[in-house]
Copies of this chain bind each other. A is one copy, B any other.
Amino acid sequence: MTLQPILIDGAWEQARAVDGSFYAMNPATKAALPFEYPVLGLADVERMIGAAQQAVTELRAISPEQIAQFLETFADNIEARKDELVEMAQQETALGKEPRLGSVELPRTSNQLRQAATAARDRSWCMATIDTASNIRAKFGPLGGPVVVFGPNNFPYAFNSAAGGDFAAAIAAGNPVIAKANTSHPQTTKLLAEAAFDAVQATGMPKAMVQLLYRTKPDVGLKLVSHPQIGATGFTGSKNAGLKLKAAADAGGKPIYLEMSSVNPIFVLPGVLAERSQALAEELVASCTLGTGQFCTNPGVVVLMDDAASQEFTQKLAEIMAAKPNGTLLGAGGPDGIAHALKVWQEHGAELVVGGKPVDGPGYSFSNTLMRVSGADFLANPEALQEEAFGVATLLIFAESAEQMRQIAGSIEGQLTGCLYTNSQGLDDEMYDLIEPVLRQRVGRLLNDKMPTGVAVVPSMNHGGPYPATGHPGFTAVGIPASMLRFAALHCYDNVRPHRLPAELQDKNPTGSMWRLIDQVWTQGDV
């Protein structure tokens, strides 16, 4: 059978350097899907990098307006091919067609592309800074090499390497992209890359603006992210794979932005249980089971005081969770990964409350699971008990005192999010003040009275956090334009003659509306 073509240097071609092949699986049936994909060798990867370098050169003559048009055309193309994309993603991921794929994730994805287009056109993202007395001017610009994007398995559109948040941010900042498909949904990724490439052609972008590969042997992937001619890498996926790529990229001096793992602790303080235990139990289980628990922001750890109200709350959680249908996981690794994490938890003192077993059936599934552990046991082995179970599996930690709860917060590793639920009348405020400062510095996004699973695409979002949730505490993977700064270099112009300056740094505001910091004042005006 013919292998699926890769997108390389402006053409859908058979791979030349093939180092094996693979199929994707339908997780709902465990059956192989019909398409066969090449595992790419180094020669084709290097050809992609060379073509991307040519795109970097051609991009110097491409305006922000043209990049915006490309992103918007791509968004239109995705919406036009919605039925096909939903059909394929459902086969490859077992995620629900409606509302999840068709009405939530797909519109979110095209919306992200349009937000990126708006940011590219607006130009404020580049933080143009002008000091008139010294005639020194600076802004962020493209990296000078392609951005390599590795997408995760859990969001086939919104974090897709050929259409998702990293892709949109990299393109809007003026870089070409080399997309590495997640191997659990390669055909969805191919459809998206087709839609992207159609937009490349329709809007006169450099032909290697978007390229696609499906898989490489590990050593070739390490060469890719550390290659002297790439700009940076965006990776969303497992800590294991992320850390290997990070080591290679770091050694090559190449920026890599990783979103790796997070257990998103939720602190439920006593006063809120007194107020609305039942509603909160329902809210928590709804968040835990969203996407069969396979969200980066899934609540993996819940911290409670060890008292009667918490025992009752646990009982409610267990009942609601047991009554929920067990979802289908994204792949064969799902049940094994959850079982492994539960085993690690149990070895360090955790006990099963409900669930805990793989589910027999046509698809990959695991029973909705709750476990519990004492605060003392958690503090004895905080790292093992923060092992991520990527699915519906949450660990309840019972603290014996407010001070122990603070210590638990202090043993939390870097996470994407941390939540505090408290009494609406202020009864928990003293405990909040004890715990919040400790938690604050360990999480990217701190929430009150809200589950972490919703990630709004707004400028103030931080979908990031301290290591090991990500590789750098200063950057976010979601939220435009902030996410674009990951894929930009700071370009200073010192005494450069006026007509040679980029438009964003000339005296006259190039759009009449972009924000610039001129002599320490943010303004939309001219110099």
* A474 vs chain B, min Cβ distance (A): 6
A175 to B440, alpha carbons, bound, how many Å?
Answer: 15
Contact A492 B138 (CB under 8 A): no
A441-B489 in contact given A136-B456, A448-B496 (Cβ < 8 Å): yes
A444 in the interface, Cβ–Cβ < 8 Å?
A: yes
- Nearest B-chain residue to A516, judged by Cβ: B522
- Nearest B-chain residue to A143, judged by Cβ: B473
A485 in the interface, Cβ–Cβ < 8 Å?
A: yes
Contact B456 A492 (CB under 8 A): no
The copy count of this chain in the complex is: 2
Contact A460 B130 (CB under 8 A): yes
Q: Which residues of B have CB within 8 Å of A486?
A: 474
Contact B491 A440 (CB under 8 A): yes
Q: Which residues of B have CB within 8 Å of A493?
A: 445-446
Residue from A138, A460, A464, A476 whose CB has the most chain B CB atoms within 10 Å: A460
Contact A436 B500 (CB under 8 A): yes
* A421 vs chain B, min Cβ distance (A): 11
A348 in the interface, Cβ–Cβ < 8 Å?
A: no
A131-B459 in contact given A445-B494, A448-B497 (Cβ < 8 Å): yes
Q: Which residues of B have CB within 8 Å of A482?
A: 129, 490
List residues 238-268 of chain A with CB under 8 A from any CB of chain B: 246-247, 250-251, 253-255
Contact A488 B460 (CB under 8 A): no
State the interface size on chain A (CB cutoff 8 A): 74
Q: Which residues of B have CB within 8 Å of A417?
A: 494
Contact B136 A495 (CB under 8 A): no
Contact A136 B461 (CB under 8 A): yes
- Nearest B-chain residue to A493, judged by Cβ: B446
Contact B448 A495 (CB under 8 A): yes
Among B460, B494, B522, point to the contact of A131 (Cβ < 8 A): B460
A97 to B69, alpha carbons, bound, how many Å?
Answer: 59
Question: What would 15 more interface pairs be, CB under 8 Å, given A141-B440, A473-B490, A475-B490?
Answer: A56-B441, A129-B459, A131-B459, A131-B460, A136-B460, A253-B467, A255-B472, A441-B489, A444-B490, A446-B491, A446-B493, A448-B496, A449-B497, A474-B489, A476-B492
Listed by A's residue number, 8 A-B pairs whose Cβ atoms lie within 8 Å are A57-B437, A136-B456, A136-B458, A138-B461, A247-B250, A448-B496, A448-B497, A450-B495
Query: Residues on A close to B: CB < 8 A?
Result: 56-57, 60, 124, 129-131, 133-134, 136-138, 140-144, 246-247, 250-251, 253-255, 414, 417, 432, 436-437, 440-442, 444-450, 452, 456, 458-462, 464, 466-468, 471-476, 482, 485-486, 488-497, 500, 515, 517, 520, 522
